[in-house]
Structure 1
Amino acid sequence: MSEEWKALSDNRFKDYKLKVGGLVENPVELSVDDLRALNKEENITMHHCIQGWSGIAECGGIPIKALVELVKPHASVTTVVFYSFGEGLYGGTYYDTHTLENCLKPGSILTYEMIHNHYTMPLNS
Structure 2
Amino acid sequence: MTRPNDPNRRRFLERSLLAGGALLLSGCDRVTRSDTMQSLFDASGALTQQAHRLLASRESLAREYPAQDIAPEFRANGTTDPSSDLYRRLAANDFNDWQLQVEGLVDTPERFSLAALRDMPARTQITRHDCVEGWSCIGQWTGVALGDVLDRVGVRDTARFVVFHCADRYSGGDLYYESLDLREAYHPQTLLAYDLNDASLPIANGAPLRLRAERQLGYKMAKYLMRIELVDSLDHIGRGQGGFWEDRGYQWWAGI
Report the TM range for the smaller structure's normalisation: 0.7 to 0.9
> Counterpart of 1:101 in 2: which secondary structure?
helix
TM-score normalized by the length of structure 1: 0.83
Higher helix share: 2
CA contact (8 A) 1:88 1:95 kept: no
Tell me the equivalent position of 2:136. 54
> Is 1:93 aligned with 2:195?
no
Higher strand share: 1
Distance 1:93 1:26, change over 3 A: same
Question: Which structure 2 residues correspond to residues 19-30 of structure 1 after superposition, within 5 A?
Answer: 19-30=101-112
Separation in structure 1 between the aligned mates of residue 160 and residue 181 of structure 2, nearest angstrom: 6
Q: How many residues align?
A: 117
Higher relative contact order (CA 8 A, sep 6+): 1
> Counterpart of 1:21 in 2: which secondary structure?
strand
Separation in structure 2 between the aligned mates of residue 14 and residue 100 of structure 1, nearest angstrom: 29
Where do 5+ consecutive residues of structure 1 fail to align?
Answer: 118-125
Tell me by how many angstroms 1:67 deviates. Answer: 0.6
Residue of 68, 76, 79 corresponding to 2:161: 79
Separation in structure 2 between the aligned mates of residue 93 and residue 49 of structure 1, nearest angstrom: 20
> Counterpart of 1:20 in 2: which secondary structure?
strand
Larger radius of gyration: 2
Counterpart amino acid of residue 78 in structure 1:
R
- Identity fraction in percent: 29
Residue of 121, 144, 148 corresponding to 1:66: 148
Where do 5+ consecutive residues of structure 2 fail to align?
Answer: 1-81, 200-256
Tell me the equivalent position of 1:12. 94
Separation in structure 1 between the aligned mates of residue 134 and residue 177 of structure 2, nearest angstrom: 17
Tell me by how many angstroms 1:116 deviates. Answer: 5.1
Separation in structure 2 between the aligned mates of residue 17 and residue 63 of structure 1, nearest angstrom: 17
CA contact (8 A) 1:57 1:116 kept: no
